[in-house]
Amino acid sequence: MNDTNPAAETMRLRALQAMSPARRLSLALGWSRSVRELTRSSLRQQYPELPPQDLHRLLAERLLGKELALKAYGTLPLTE
């Protein structure tokens, strides 16, 4: 889905291209942090009783996908 006006998208891309690599990296890291925090907040609302370690595991599944989260963190307690 792309609801961005083509002229606005062109302007956005030009602005990004004009930035230094360090600035683009800084923006990307900030966006990634925001996605993690929004996802974590949503999970806390869905599962308020979940211990922090289980919340972290569930967050990993949402961000990494089930297969990679399983390899990295093991079985999700909610699905046992």
- Percent of the chain, pLDDT > 70? 94
Distance CA 52, CA 36 (A): 15
Question: So what's the pLDDT on residue 77?
Answer: 67
> What is the total count of domains within the chain?
1
Tell whether 17 is covered by a domain. yes
Residue 64 placed within a domain: yes
Is the pLDDT assigned to residue 80 strictly greater than 60?
no
Q: Is the pTM of this model over 0.85?
A: no
Domain assignment present for residue 1? The answer is no
In a domain, 31, yes or no: yes
Q: Can you state the percent helix, strand and coil of the chain, rounding each to 5? A: 80, 0, 20
Provide the pLDDT for residue 63. 93
13 by DSSP, 3-state: which? helix
Crossing angle (nearest 10°) for helices 21-46 and 52-64: 130
Mean pLDDT within 33-50:
95
**Mean pLDDT taken over the chain:** 91
Residue 44 and residue 58 in contact, taking contact as beta carbons nearer than 8 Å: no
